[in-house]
Structure 1
Amino acid sequence: MKRKYLIIADDLTGANDTGIQFLKAGYRASVTFDPAALESMEDHGAIVLDTESRNIPEEAAAAIIKKAVPFLAKFMGKRVFYKKVDSTLRGNIRAEVAVLREELGFPLTIFTPAFPENRRTVKDGLLFLDGIPVDRTEMGRDPRKPVLTSSLAESLLGPRAGEGRAVSLEEIRAGRIPALLEESGRRGVFCFDAERDEDLSVIARDTFIAAPAEDVLWVGSAGLAEGMMNVRLPVLLVAGSLSAVSARQARYVMEGGHVRPLLPDISALLGDPEREEAALAEKAAELLGRGENVLISSAVDEEQIAAGRRAGKPELIGESLARIVARILKRTDIAGLFATGGEIAIKIVQALGGGGVSLLEEVEPGIPLVRLMGGRAEGLPIITKAGGFGSEDAMKRCIEVLTSPSHGFLRP
């Protein structure tokens, strides 16, 4: 199931420049001015609510957000909430974010207004515009809403700025974000430095790893939104073929470091399927959540192949692998799915509730790329392969196709 987003912006230009980041990533995105209209846009992957509250008094801005809360609350746990703020810290950021945090109960807030490609960067907890602290630029002399501080923590928390945890460039680039969030119990306000577009993608990726995205209040400009959309989704590969060709292809991607392999114990899979399937799905979802491609294969080594042949129940193994895939896709996102062997593909499509597939193209002779029609993962790109088909590097080639921008998951 793909993430869906609800963006709350304080003016139309900001609503548009942030919404367009989701459109570029393949989402259907629209802007509304009426919170009551949000429910009618459920088929949109990204909904943007423009409150037009940037240049009004703080109390009035807070009241507008509070009035929208009953409509926003209906999407809690169903969509990722993104509070779009001005990349130069203008507006009623503190008041509006406070209402969202308190009324909707977000335990964790991730904040950075950085937008490096437009010369907005954050270093040591301060926002810079063209290398100058933003409150010392023309933004500090804005006639309607002058920026009084360059500090992220002060902008977001005011006199409670000390409650915010500043996250430095060194911590971000050293991969410390998951550990920092874990240590906090995934609670609190984190203010992030960012000087490059890649920093924003790392912030998004590592937060996705550490906490459910729907439990986070994301606060940022169009820059962080773009960073979220630039996080590369991984591929799930499922191989149930007894073919020596498929086994060689699996070993090729394993030995090349292109996948993390999970090799089920066939005896356990058939003897206690519920327990083994749950354990495999949990491990696979964890690895995929970290952005790693995962290969689940029931026939890549001699012991597995021998156990499968002794059992004489290939259809049960296929059904079990299909149920594992369905469990995984309830927990995490993938760019696409590769399936080879026997009836693996049809069993997976059925387990996902699909009504069919639409044909897209041929990756290699006899290896088609399709999209799932209907079901819980509608639009999911799937590559199917008969066991004996394909070159030695066919699985690697399929990973490349599924992660290319033109073939990623077709979002709502």
Structure 2
Amino acid sequence: MSLVFGAVADDLTGGLELAAMVVAAGAPCAFATAPPEHLDEPAIVIGRRTRVADPALATTDIRRIGQWLRDRGARQIFFKYCATFDSTPAGNIGNCADVLRELTGSKLTAFCPSFPEAGRRVFQGHLFADDRLISESPKRHDPLTPMTDPDLVRVLQAQTPTKVGLIPHQVVRAGFDAMAEHCDRLVAAGIGFALADAAVPDDLAALAALTVDWPLMTGNSSIAAYYPALWRERALVDPGMPAPRLAPVAGPGVVLAGSCAERTRRQLEIFGGERPVLMLDLAEGDADRLVASALDWALPRLAEGPVAIATSAGPEAVAAAQARLGQRRAASLAEEVLSRLAEAFRQIGVRRFLICGGETSGAVLDRLGITSLRVGAYRAPGISQALAEGPVPLAFCLKSGKLGPEDMLLPMLASMERGEQA
């Protein structure tokens, strides 16, 4: 089967969500953290950890994955990043898109981060979080990728030498022909990248129809949900099939949270109303001591039900840890501690893992040596399940720190135990 859709995601939570959306739309989709030896599905998402990596390392990594997808005849390459356009002037969105543009020979590549279902919308090139500009939202306090400028044309242009333009909302609403003519004008003006406005699902559907045959597309996962129906119209994939039902996984469950997003902190607060939560203080700076104390705390409590261990903290606590340890060391310490805890928990029989945060998710899967997951159907922002198959299956939910209902943690762990996908 030819590869219709080859995606590379800049973190694992977004990659899993993208794969789950494709599955829910009726197209088989593989999910891996590295190029697999065998691939039977018409679509694949490869989740990487380039979002906050050194820009040179990120572009090298994305080029390698992009070349692998090209070598397997991918009809379209899709670069997935966060709906909040998580990046800095150094990258890693524009620089990574540049190498994919070079590989594919794309004349014009669109950028569509909008996720209306999660309240992320782009209008006249400006990103909104619910009813306010992203620069006025809690995202401005992100410890690694604070968003202080809502103008995504300007944000992207700082990351790339490629000229950046806009597909404005009035053009999107005017229909396919108007968009195609506008894009022709952008190309004639020497513009290679274009931010695409999208405020409602109909805008995403229109942009999907415009870009489904483009060799390179970028965006959040939400626009890709509209591609499988278009693939079927073109006889590129078999007619829609029911989404797989993941097998139930019994055994203890844990929440490991590294995200400092306001939504994750609220989810932990609600979880804590029913089950124990341990908040680790990274300012202590000693990974061995933090891991040991967390295990001593968790082991007697796991017999009674799920527990949560978090390095999540508010802006003031994050600033204190960064002041003592440095920004990168504070982040890497959180990943080290939580991934080592995941490894220890697996050894004592924990089988269900709910991981909050893209970088944390990547660190956990790396530590556990898991390179592929069987993906269940997408249900809602932040709610998708996956299974690491093997002699002892492990169930996962890899959740973006900013997404998911406030009360999702305990129900999600219960869903893994039931194996539900409906």
Alpha-carbon distance, 1:10 to partner: 1.3
Could you tell me whether the CA contact under 8 Å between 1:90 and 1:139 is conserved in 2? Answer: no
The 1:206–1:70 alpha-carbon spacing in structure 2 relative to 1, beyond 3 Å, is: closer
The 1:62–1:159 alpha-carbon spacing in structure 2 relative to 1, beyond 3 Å, is: closer
| Residue 164 (str. 1) matches residue 164 (str. 2) | yes
Could you tell me whether the CA contact under 8 Å between 1:168 and 1:193 is conserved in 2? Answer: yes
Q: Deviations over 1:312-353 (max 9, x none)?
A: xxxxxxxxxxxxxxxxx6xx88979xxxxxxxxxxxxxxxxx
Alpha-carbon distance, 1:2 to partner: 8.3
Could you tell me whether the CA contact under 8 Å between 1:125 and 1:153 is conserved in 2? Answer: yes
Alpha-carbon distance between aligned partners in 1 of 2:20 and 2:26, rounded to the nearest angstrom: 10
Alpha-carbon distance, 1:161 to partner: 8.1
Alpha-carbon distance, 1:124 to partner: 0.8
| Residue 196 (str. 1) matches residue 200 (str. 2) | yes
Match of 1:85 in 2: 81
Match of 1:178 in 2: 180
Match of 2:33 in 1: 33
Q: Pick from 44, 63, 66: which aligns with 1:66?
A: 63
The 1:127–1:227 alpha-carbon spacing in structure 2 relative to 1, beyond 3 Å, is: farther
Alpha-carbon distance between aligned partners in 2 of 1:157 and 1:17, rounded to the nearest angstrom: 27
Alpha-carbon distance, 1:160 to partner: 5.8
The 1:231–1:201 alpha-carbon spacing in structure 2 relative to 1, beyond 3 Å, is: farther
Alpha-carbon distance between aligned partners in 2 of 1:75 and 1:112, rounded to the nearest angstrom: 25
Could you tell me whether the CA contact under 8 Å between 1:154 and 1:161 is conserved in 2? Answer: no
Q: Pick from 45, 50, 53: which aligns with 1:53?
A: 50
Alpha-carbon distance between aligned partners in 2 of 1:166 and 1:184, rounded to the nearest angstrom: 8
Alpha-carbon distance, 1:227 to partner: 3.2
Match of 2:227 in 1: 228
Q: Deviations over 1:173-194 (max 9, x none)?
A: 1111122234456972221111
Q: Deviations over 1:274-308 (max 9, x none)?
A: xxxxxxxxxxxxxxx7xxxxxxxxxxxxxxxxxxx
Alpha-carbon distance between aligned partners in 1 of 2:183 and 2:2, rounded to the nearest angstrom: 23
Counterpart of 2:76, as a letter, is V
The 1:162–1:54 alpha-carbon spacing in structure 2 relative to 1, beyond 3 Å, is: closer
What are the within-5 Å matches in structure 2 for residues 387-406 of structure 1?
none
The 1:95–1:169 alpha-carbon spacing in structure 2 relative to 1, beyond 3 Å, is: same
Alpha-carbon distance between aligned partners in 1 of 2:22 and 2:95, rounded to the nearest angstrom: 26
The 1:75–1:105 alpha-carbon spacing in structure 2 relative to 1, beyond 3 Å, is: farther
Could you tell me whether the CA contact under 8 Å between 1:66 and 1:99 is conserved in 2? Answer: yes
Could you tell me whether the CA contact under 8 Å between 2:8 and 2:66 is conserved in 1? Answer: no
Alpha-carbon distance, 1:83 to partner: 0.6
Alpha-carbon distance, 1:164 to partner: 2.0
Could you tell me whether the CA contact under 8 Å between 1:6 and 1:80 is conserved in 2? Answer: yes
Corresponding residue pairs, total: 232
Could you tell me whether the CA contact under 8 Å between 1:123 and 1:195 is conserved in 2? Answer: yes
Identity of aligned residues (%): 26
Counterpart of 1:82, as a letter, is F
Alpha-carbon distance between aligned partners in 1 of 2:82 and 2:75, rounded to the nearest angstrom: 22
Alpha-carbon distance, 1:200 to partner: 0.3
Instruction: Please identify the structure whose Cα radius of gyration is greater.
Output: 1
Match of 2:12 in 1: 12
Q: Where does structure 2 lack aligned partners over 5 or more consecutive residues? A: 241-422
Structure 1 stretches of 4+ with a deviation exceeding 6 A read 332-336
Secondary structure of the 1:40 match is coil
Name the TM-score, length of structure 2 as normaliser.
0.50
The 1:21–1:205 alpha-carbon spacing in structure 2 relative to 1, beyond 3 Å, is: same
Secondary structure of the 1:86 match is coil
Could you tell me whether the CA contact under 8 Å between 1:201 and 1:231 is conserved in 2? Answer: no
What are the within-5 Å matches in structure 2 for residues 88-107 of structure 1?
88-91=84-87, 92-107=92-107
Counterpart of 1:220, as a letter, is G
Alpha-carbon distance, 1:79 to partner: 2.4
Name the TM-score, length of structure 1 as normaliser.
0.51
Could you tell me whether the CA contact under 8 Å between 1:201 and 1:230 is conserved in 2? Answer: no
Could you tell me whether the CA contact under 8 Å between 1:198 and 1:227 is conserved in 2? Answer: no
Q: Where does structure 1 lack aligned partners over 5 or more consecutive residues? A: 235-288, 290-328, 337-412
Could you tell me whether the CA contact under 8 Å between 1:17 and 1:222 is conserved in 2? Answer: yes
What are the within-5 Å matches in structure 2 for residues 190-339 of structure 1?
190-208=194-212, 212-213=213-214, 215=215, 217-229=216-228, 231=230
Could you tell me whether the CA contact under 8 Å between 2:11 and 2:81 is conserved in 1? Answer: no
What are the within-5 Å matches in structure 2 for residues 329-368 of structure 1?
none
Alpha-carbon distance, 1:220 to partner: 0.7
Q: Deviations over 1:14-62 (max 9, x none)?
A: 0111111110122211211113x2x621x21211111112222323222
Q: Pick from 25, 41, 44: which aligns with 1:44?
A: 41
Higher-RCO chain (CA-CA 8 Å, sequence separation at least 6): 2
Secondary structure of the 1:62 match is helix
Alpha-carbon distance between aligned partners in 2 of 1:161 and 1:64, rounded to the nearest angstrom: 19
The 1:50–1:103 alpha-carbon spacing in structure 2 relative to 1, beyond 3 Å, is: same
Alpha-carbon distance between aligned partners in 1 of 2:162 and 2:66, rounded to the nearest angstrom: 27
Counterpart of 1:40, as a letter, is H
